[in-house]
Amino acid sequence: MAEQPKSYHHGDLRAALLAAAEDELTDKGMERFSLRSMAKRAGVSHAAPAHHFGDVKGLLTALAASGYDRFLATQKARQKSADPDPREQLIQSGLGYIDFALAHPALFRLMFGSRWPEGTDPAFKDSADAGFEHLLNNVSAITGGDPEVDPATQVMVVAAWSTVHGLADLLIGGSPHYLADTTPEVREAMMREIIGRSLG
């Protein structure tokens, strides 16, 4: 029996297109990313992505926005089962940050290291800002300071973010070998130590 064509509700189609876009990005990278190939992967006409997102930039902006939502959810999931101590909460948030990068390296690169997302897009801006606000709140819970005006809090924000993002970026590139090529348990213990040191 011939395979029946896929049928989507409006919301389902949008989600299916984003999932196909992430698969396309993961398999081919930005250099070979194609709307037509992505539509074929989703089982829809090549016009469907343009109808929902306008163009490649619109699609990748929406994908990056959904990535930020999942990125934040990964951090919060780590924190939910952890000790409520503010320092431990920040460390767990950092480990969740790295978890996301390792699970979705191509999406992580799109979110943080590419020119494709449209920074002024309201949905993208809201999602990205929520991730940064989460970091600010976690650091403020440790220092008791306002990151807008307190230099000590600002320093810790930058130190924690730089450390965690640097670890994520190194690990998805396979470096350093003694951190990338070890067991998950040893790697997590080392990352906990590194993140903890960044907090002073």
- Residue 85 falls in which region: left (phi positive, over 0), alpha (psi -120 to 50) or beta: beta
CATH number of the domain residue 30 falls in? 1.10.10.60
pTM: 0.91
User: Are 110 and 63 in contact, with CB atoms under 8 Å apart?
Assistant: yes
| 3 assigned to some structural domain | no
Tokens 């989507």 — which residue?
Answer: 8
Residue type, 67: G
Say how many domains are in the chain.
2
Q: Are residues 113 and 183 in the same domain?
A: yes
Instruction: For the beta carbon of residue 64, count every other beta carbon within 10 angstroms.
Output: 25
Structural domain boundaries enclosing 117:
63-198
Average pLDDT, the chain: 92
Number of DSSP helices (H) and strands (E) in the chain, helices first: 10, 0
**Whole-number pLDDT of residue 2:** 39
Q: Is the pLDDT of residue 162 over 70?
A: yes
Q: Are residues 70 and 50 in the same domain?
A: no
| 129 assigned to some structural domain | yes
Over residues 90-107, the pLDDT tens digits come to: 999 999 999 999 999 999
